[in-house]
C-alpha cells in the first residue's frame, strides 16, 4: 500500500480542506444494488495467472478505491432483469461494469498513489497552478472529490485508467462498497467522464 501521510502533512491538508468547495456528499440510504458512482474500497482484481510446476501464481492488483461509471438507468434495468426467474437473460443484462480508480488526494500529490502498479511520479505542490486547476475540476482527465462529511479524505478519480469488471464479480464484492453518492454530485461525475471520452486528442 502507498506510504502513510505524516501527521503534519495531514493536519495541513485538513486545514486547507475547510476552504475548498464541497464536490461530493454520501447518500444516507444506499440501495441494495450497485448504483451509479458507488465507490468501493480495497478492491482486488486478478490481472493474470500462471501455472508453474504444481503451483498457480496469481498476479493481483489491489485498488484502494474504485468508482462505478455506469449510468443509473442501465444498472437499475440490469438488476430488475436479474430478479425475473425462469427467463433466459435479455440484452438488458450487463456483462461488465465500468470502473475508474480513485486515489487519496494527498498520495496523488506525493506521486505515490499507484503504489506498485506504476513507478512513483514527481510530486506536486498543492498551491501550484496545475493542482489548482485539478481541484477546480478544470482538467478533463481528473475529477476531484471533497466530501461534505467530516473524516472522509479528499479523493481524485483518474478517468484515463478506466476499465471493466465482470458484473458477477462486482456483485460478489458489493460488501466492499465504501459509499454511494447523492444524485446531484454523481451526475457531475458522469458528465465529466463522458466529456473526457469525447475530447478530441491532438498529437503531442
Domain boundaries, the chain: 21-197
Q: Say if residue 8's pLDDT is above 60.
A: no
pLDDT tier at 172 (50, 70, 90 boundaries)?
very high
Residues 101-129: tens digit of each pLDDT: 999 999 999 999 998 888 888 999 999 99
pLDDT tier at 92 (50, 70, 90 boundaries)?
confident
**Average confidence (pLDDT) over 189-203:** 88
**Average confidence (pLDDT) over 174-203:** 92
Instruction: Please name which of 146, 137, 148 lies closest in space to residue 27, comparing C-alpha atoms.
Output: 148
What is the C-alpha separation between 70 and 47, in angstroms, rounded? 22
Tell me what percent of the residues of the chain surpass a pLDDT of 90. Answer: 63
Lowest mean pLDDT among 2-16, 77-91, 99-113, 127-141: 2-16
**What is the structure's pLDDT at 2?**
54
- Tell how far CA 86 is from the center of its chain: 35
pTM of the model: 0.82
Phi-psi region of 53 (alpha: psi -120 to 50; beta: other; left: phi over 0): left
Cβ(126)–Cβ(109) below 8 Å:
yes
pLDDT tier at 204 (50, 70, 90 boundaries)?
low
DSSP letters for 153-175: PPEEEEGGG-EEEEHHHHHHTGG
Most confidently modeled of 12-16, 27-31, 99-103?
A: 99-103
pLDDT tier at 86 (50, 70, 90 boundaries)?
low
Q: Say if residue 90's pLDDT is above 60.
A: yes
Calculate the average pLDDT of the chain. Answer: 87
Lowest mean pLDDT among 8-12, 135-139, 156-160: 8-12
Amino acid at each position: 500500500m502507498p506510504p502513510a501521510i505524516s501527521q503534519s502533512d495531514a493536519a495541513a491538508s485538513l486545514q486547507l480542506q475547510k476552504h475548498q468547495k464541497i464536490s461530493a456528499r454520501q447518500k444516507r440510504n444506499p440501495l441494495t444494488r450497485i448504483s451509479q458512482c458507488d465507490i468501493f474500497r480495497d478492491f482486488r482484481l486478478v490481472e493474470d495467472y500462471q501455472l508453474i510446476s504444481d503451483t498457480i501464481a496469481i498476479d493481483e492488483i489491489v485498488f484502494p478505491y474504485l468508482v462505478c461509471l455506469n449510468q443509473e438507468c442501465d444498472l437499475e434495468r440490469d438488476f430488475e432483469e436479474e430478479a425475473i426467474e425462469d427467463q433466459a437473460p435479455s440484452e438488458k443484462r450487463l456483462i461488465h461494469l465500468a470502473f475508474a480508480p480513485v486515489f487519496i488526494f494527498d498520495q496523488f500529490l506525493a506521486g505515490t498513489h499507484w503504489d506498485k502498479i506504476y513507478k512513483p511520479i514527481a510530486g506536486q505542490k498543492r498551491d501550484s497552478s496545475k493542482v489548482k486547476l485539478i481541484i477546480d475540476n478544470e482538467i478533463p482527465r481528473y475529477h476531484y472529490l471533497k466530501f461534505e462529511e467530516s473524516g472522509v479524505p479528499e479523493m481524485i478519480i483518474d478517468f484515463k485508467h478506466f476499465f471493466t469488471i465482470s458484473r458477477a464479480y462486482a456483485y460478489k464484492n458489493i460488501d466492499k462498497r465504501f459509499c454511494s453518492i447523492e444524485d446531484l454530485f454523481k451526475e457531475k461525475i458522469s458528465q465529466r467522464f463522458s466529456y473526457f471520452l469525447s475530447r478530441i486528442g491532438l498529437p503531442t
